[in-house]
Structure 1
Amino acid sequence: MLLIAIAFCGCSGKNESKIEAKPKSLETLDVDVLAIELSPWPRTVRSQGSVYADEQSVVGAKVAGRVAEVHGDVGDVLKLGDPLVTLDQEDFLLQVEQAEAQLLQARSSVGLLEGDPVDKLDPANAPPVRQERALWEETQSSLERISSLRSQNAMSQGEYDVAAAAERVAEARYASAVNGVREKIALIQVRQVELAVARERLKDAIIRAPMDGFVLNRLVAPGTFVAVGQPVATIVRTNPLRFRGKIPERHSQSIAVGQRLTLNIESVTEPREATITRVSPALDQQSRALTFEALIENENQVLRAGLFAEAEVVTDPDAYALVVPESAISEFAGATKAWIVVDGVTREQEVRIGGRREGAFEVVQGLSPGDLILRNAEQGRVGKVNSQNVPQASVQSSAPIAAK
């Protein structure tokens, strides 16, 4: 038995020696290999927000009255000055007629004919003033005759005093007539303003659109009595639109007016390009975020206010990064990996991905400039790469370089 055991051990030792002497050879892989280098990769900041109308106006009534007709309803297109709501105009027409009659009465009291400008009226030429001036001149002549007779002792002192008093009364009545005409001229101007106000109220009985836009909603119907200032409709202008978004505090210093951004809207196939037009001067104290706005052209009215959008703002257009094609990265069970070639042999390398754009990934950790990786990660497995497929010098990555 001992001899058998010794013989068995001897045989086992020979077999193990033979296995160690013949290591397993690696498979030769005929795969595409690329050398990664720094490529243009503009730095961007992502922000979520909503699309708002450029202007939204709640149109109110300037005068009180009963609604006679509603011209605009939800969705109707309006131009600046188009009728929106018409109030009952009968009372306003009567007010205009009353003001016209009062003005005519005031003009007639000073002898102004229709069409004569009031500013050219000389109070001294008004009929009441001419009448008082004639009486004053008559008393002056009488006073002169009595004064002559008084010097000849043909008239008593009492008669002279009566004539002098009559002359002074006539002079005062003349001055009063001049002041009365000036007062009537001022009254004419008051009546002119009253007429203008009455005509303006008549004009305001037709409530018009304050801008080009659409009717967002209407708030009255025929027969409704509206008070001064009461809203009757809401008008919105949707060309251009405003995107309003927020970015975290850590990116607040990288946002400025004039920067370009790309808007991705879920219900719109193609992304929209826009420019930042406004940046808030302060951060929101609760959310610690900075608000900014960008104008979006909407001439064809494809976009609607209220849409949710995601913005990608280019903060550094001249930045560089390690960029690899999407096909070079594999993701499984939460791990992101690439197949790297070291000394002609492939092995898995865990990497961390930054930005993602059309057809490419930004690698922020795990790879370095000059590393060789497999272009197609699905072909990756441990093996020896065909030397003919290994580039002899670093080549530029084929990843896109423009932000989308």
Structure 2
Amino acid sequence: MNRSIIIAIVIAVGVTAWIASGQINVGSDEENGAGDASAATQENTSASESSNEEAENTHKIMGVRYLNFTAQPRQREIIVHGKTEANRVVELKAEISGRVNKVHVYDGDRVKAGDRIVSFDVKDNEARLQEAQALVRQREIEYNAAQKLNKKGFSADTTLASAKALLDSAKAQVTAMRIRLNDLVINAPFDGYIEERNAEVGDFVKDGNPIATIVESDPLLITGQISELQVGNISVGGEGSAKLVTGETVTGEIKFIGSMADPETRTFRVELEVPNEGYKLRSGVTAEITFKTNSVEAHFLSPAYLTLNDAGVLGLRAVGNNDTVKFYPVKILADTPDGIWVQGLPETVRLIVVGQDFVRDGDKVQPDLYVAEASQ
């Protein structure tokens, strides 16, 4: 066969094969194009549905319930934990050495200022006093005689001065003996009660040995430590109250505020003085002290209305202008069995009391009055 014919046949077969291959590819592209179009249509449909859902959610308004609150004056309080203390505690001690001759009181006895606690054996002390008094009388006679002689010029001034010195010395001995006799009796320095008596009849005590402990607890002190941030809000003479762990509640007046802070706690000692007639209140009892300070505007409400914002700040949510949500951080001033006093809200406010945990700042809400306007 002619070579050119063979080449022509080969070319024809190749072209035919190429055309056939091209038709298949073209058909495949058309099918792919149709598939892509179908997928795009599905995506557009999903996007459209998602947009519709978002639009519906955007236009959906949360319903909440609110109460109306109005601020009212509230006297601020500072609470300090402390304990009761006696106004005075004194340990009586012997001022001379001697043997106890008599005891006049026992543990728990009430005493008045000047009452005898114990007495020491007088022994010869009274005789010594009489001897000293006799010597004074003698020295007075000698001094008077020296004065007369000196005036007449029969004695020198030095003789008169010597007589005067001897008289003064004798008087000093009398004074010393009287003091010693007084020291033989231990008396109560103030009204109070005997907490402990250390001496018994027959005991020999030395100068400085303890005899008895006397306590003054009327008035009673209730002491605590107040922080450096709050100490400026109270003053001596201010009012205060205290609730004791034993159940009693007492009121009194601030007697003392420390001027130097505790170096470790940076707090200041404060004392509240309260009456304790009959010594019914005991020393050393745990107490919660409340000091009243200046008056501020505050709201009284249920703690159930409190919530947290996204930053974890404690506060309340209210319905603001255009029925949008507004979050207010608040400070709790006082916690009572009936509710809490808070500061940080506007004077009048529509406070969300149902649904406050499901809305955020700026959300549009549909407010509904929960009950009749609250009279707080």
If the length of structure 2 is used for normalisation, what is the TM-score? 0.66
Contact 1:353 1:361 in 2 (8 A): no
Contact 1:39 1:396 in 2 (8 A): no
What stretches of structure 1 of length at least 5 have no aligned partner? Answer: 1-30, 111-117, 134-170, 343-348, 378-383, 398-404
Q: CA deviation at 1:122?
A: 5.3
Return the match for 1:175 from 155, 162, 183. Answer: 155
The 2-side partners of 1:388 and 1:102 are apart by 100
Q: CA deviation at 1:189?
A: 2.7
Return the match for 1:251 from 225, 230, 236. Answer: 230
Relative contact order, higher structure (CA 8 A, sep 6+): 1
Structure 1 residue 264 and structure 2 residue 223: aligned? no
What is the 5 A alignment of 1:2-401? Answer: 34-107=67-140, 110=142, 121=144, 123=146, 125=148, 174-175=154-155, 179-180=158-159, 182-269=161-248, 271-316=249-294, 318-325=295-302, 354=332, 355-363=334-342, 369-372=348-351, 389-391=371-373, 396-397=375-376
The 2-side partners of 1:216 and 1:71 are apart by 14
Relative to its length, the structure with more strand (as a share) is: 2
Alpha-carbon spacing, 1:341–1:93, altered in 2? closer, same or farther (3 Å): same
The equivalent residue for 2:35 is none
Q: CA deviation at 1:184?
A: 3.0
Q: Which amino acid aligns with 1:264?
A: K
Q: CA deviation at 1:290?
A: 1.6
The 2-side partners of 1:124 and 1:373 are apart by 103
Q: CA deviation at 1:190?
A: 1.5
Task: Report SS of the residue matched to 2:105.
Answer: coil
Alpha-carbon spacing, 1:186–1:367, altered in 2? closer, same or farther (3 Å): closer
Q: Which amino acid aligns with 2:146?
A: P
Task: Report SS of the residue matched to 1:80.
Answer: coil
Q: CA deviation at 1:179?
A: 4.5
If the length of structure 1 is used for normalisation, what is the TM-score? 0.62
The 1-side partners of 2:207 and 2:369 are apart by 87
Alpha-carbon spacing, 1:197–1:247, altered in 2? closer, same or farther (3 Å): same
Q: Which amino acid aligns with 1:225?
A: F
Q: CA deviation at 1:210?
A: 0.7
Q: Which amino acid aligns with 2:222?
A: F
**Residue by residue, what CA displacement relative to the aligned partner does 1:367-393 show, whole Å, maximum 9, x if unpaired?**
99422566xx9xxxxxx99979444xx
Task: Report SS of the residue matched to 1:229.
Answer: coil
Alpha-carbon spacing, 1:389–1:357, altered in 2? closer, same or farther (3 Å): closer
The 2-side partners of 1:367 and 1:373 are apart by 14
Q: Which amino acid aligns with 1:81?
A: G
Q: Which amino acid aligns with 1:287?
A: T
**Residue by residue, what CA displacement relative to the aligned partner does 1:240-273 show, whole Å, maximum 9, x if unpaired?**
112211122322332322322221111133x222
The 1-side partners of 2:70 and 2:167 are apart by 88
Task: Report SS of the residue matched to 2:126.
Answer: helix
Percent pairwise identity = 24
- Runs of 4 or more consecutive aligned structure 1 residues displaced over 6 Å after TM superposition: 336-342, 349-353, 365-368, 384-388
Q: CA deviation at 1:325?
A: 4.8
Cα RMSD of the aligned pairs, angstroms, is: 4.2
